[in-house]
Amino acid sequence: MVSSSISILLLCEPLLKFYHTGGRKAIPEIILSADSLCQLHILSDIKYNDRMATGFGGVFVQYVKINHLKPGMRLARPIYNKKGVMLLERDTRLTRQGIANIENFGLWGVYILEPAEPVPPLSDEDIELERFLTVSTFRLKDDLALLTNDMAPQNLTGLAQTILRDFGSLDHKINFAKNLRSNGDYVYKHCLNTAILSAMMVHRLHYSYGEQLAIVCAALLHDMGLLLVPDEIMEKGDALLSPDERRLIRGYLEKGYQLLHPDYNDYRLPELTLQLVGQLTRLEHNVKIPLQKNIRWRNGTHVLHVASMFDELTSMNLDKEPVSEIRAVRFLREHPDYYPAPFVTALTQCIHILPGGCCVDFSNGQKGIIIEENDKNYAQPVVILFSDNQRIDFTDARFQKTMHISDVMKTMDLRLKVDQETLKKYASDPHTKETAKRYQEKRSKLVAAGRVL
């Protein structure tokens, strides 16, 4: 385990120009060497253990576990309590008291901005979505706890109606919030996100209100059985599960379905909700296993299956990194038997897949930024190449034949992590070494006093 890592930032000239003209504010570090093409910076004492890096709106952030938070770190996202009251705003610099408060909130970790990063852009709609997800997660948790204890839910129908009211009538796409899950909150966050995606999809598919409500209720309940799975199995992660453990999980999903009392429905859930949850317990999530042909899969089941898999692919877990929206949609498109095209299309009409400002990698090795989103075909935006500032409109057939967008860049930050042994391979002059030593001593004193540079 590396306790102190060194991070090297190497920026080529065209990218460096864009990095600054894009409104970013770079913090000057110790410059080891510099010429007209690149700059080399040192960032020391950065621990990467138990962190996960990702991008939000082109801004590089890290998810840091509670026990690795330090005074001076800046919040990338606001923190709310279970009633929706904002406790800490974005860009708040953490103090020792603030870290203690976060621990008392029951959070597993928070999103932290890199030192040189600006506050990520969030619209009022994005901020409201953050607040709604926090409040609704607690509401759903309370209801699923009642159901697993053989008691009637109190908030389920009301929560489904609220989701339909807020998301089931939107006439524009939204930036769908990625959130990180632990084994302790995976079910609640996954079911809630699936319900929100489903609400937007059924609106695009023009289903009746009764059918929409039943589908959203089913989304909130569909993975309830996972709450019954022993922790030692859930903590393994999907890739390490044995065939016997997978069968055991299927059994718990069926048991979760039976907790809804489908035979006599004394909880008065919509009949369609019970039918959809029942079908989902029999639906394989491995695309290598053909779908059962003797079952007439309902449209609502396809809606839930598409929404659930998209959320699962793009969500962040401590044991796996998420895939980008475009890669997730590409996966769904590649398996039309499991995820029929009309339902995947409905999904892409609800959320931004490649929004403006998104930095992307191309199939020919080039990199660029999207300057104009294509609402009709997300795969054909207008982009600017970093290499020569060339403007490319992917609706032009000439470009479609030579290159395509392969993925979203994780970050504009091209730093490479190296350890102390690797750093020894780079020679520095005595003056630079002395400057670095003074800088490190000054920084150590500030950190010891609860401050950072």
The reported pLDDT for the residue numbered 175 is: 86
163-172, 278-287, 328-337, 343-352 — which is least confidently predicted?
278-287
**Could you tell me where the DSSP H helices lie in 168-242?**
186-204, 209-221, 231-234
61-70, 160-169, 258-267, 272-281 — which is least confidently predicted?
61-70
**Hunting for tokens 């299956």 — which residue is that?**
305
**Alpha-carbon dihedral 35, 438, 25, 446, rounded to 10 degrees:** 170
* Amino acid present at 318: L
- Per-residue pLDDT of 331-341, as tens digits, reads 999 999 899 99
The most confident of the ranges 33-42, 49-58, 103-112 is: 103-112
Q: For residues 61 and 76, what is the distance between their CA atoms, to the nearest angstrom?
A: 7
Q: For residues 6 and 116, what is the distance between their CA atoms, to the nearest angstrom?
A: 16
- Per-residue pLDDT of 409-424, as tens digits, reads 876 555 556 667 766 6
Q: Cα angle vertex 314, ends 134, 341, to 5°?
A: 115
Sign of CA dihedral 97, 103, 104, 108: positive
For 204, the token pair is 């695009």
- Mean pLDDT, residues 131-135: 87
* Amino acid present at 347: L
Options 1.10.3210.10, 3.40.640.10, 3.40.50.300, 2.40.440.10; CATH of 124-348 = 1.10.3210.10
Domain ranges of the chain: 1-49+419-453, 50-121, 124-348, 359-408
| Confidence grade of residue 63 (pLDDT, cut at 50, 70, 90) | confident
Q: Render 325-371 in DSSP notation, one character per residue.
A: HHHHHHHHHH-TTTS-HHHHHHHHTTB-SS-TT-EEEETTS-EEEEE
185: left (phi over 0), alpha (psi -120 to 50) or beta: alpha
| Confidence grade of residue 9 (pLDDT, cut at 50, 70, 90) | very low
DSSP code for 77:
S
- Per-residue pLDDT of 175-216, as tens digits, reads 887 777 777 788 999 999 999 999 999 999 999 999 999 999
The most confident of the ranges 257-271, 307-321, 406-420 is: 257-271
What's the CATH code, domain 50-121? 3.90.105
188: left (phi over 0), alpha (psi -120 to 50) or beta: alpha
Q: 14 pLDDT exceeds 50?
A: no
Q: 291 pLDDT exceeds 70?
A: yes
For 118, the token pair is 């600006």
In the chain, % of residues over pLDDT 70 = 80
DSSP code for 171:
S
The reported pLDDT for the residue numbered 25 is: 33
The reported pLDDT for the residue numbered 411 is: 60
**Could you tell me where the DSSP H helices lie in 36-155?**
96-104, 124-148
Residue 366 or 41, more confident: 366
Q: 431 pLDDT exceeds 50?
A: yes
Contact 221, 260 (CB under 8 A): yes
Contact 91, 74 (CB under 8 A): yes
* Amino acid present at 206: H
Per-residue exposure over 366-389, b if at least 16 CB sit within 10 Å of its own CB, e if not: bbbbbeebbeeebebbbbbbbeee
Q: 48 pLDDT exceeds 70?
A: no
Q: What is the pTM of this model?
A: 0.75
Contact 267, 260 (CB under 8 A): yes
Q: 35 pLDDT exceeds 50?
A: no
The reported pLDDT for the residue numbered 418 is: 63
The reported pLDDT for the residue numbered 42 is: 29
For 246, the token pair is 């997978």
Contacts of 390 (CB under 8 A, 6+ apart): 384
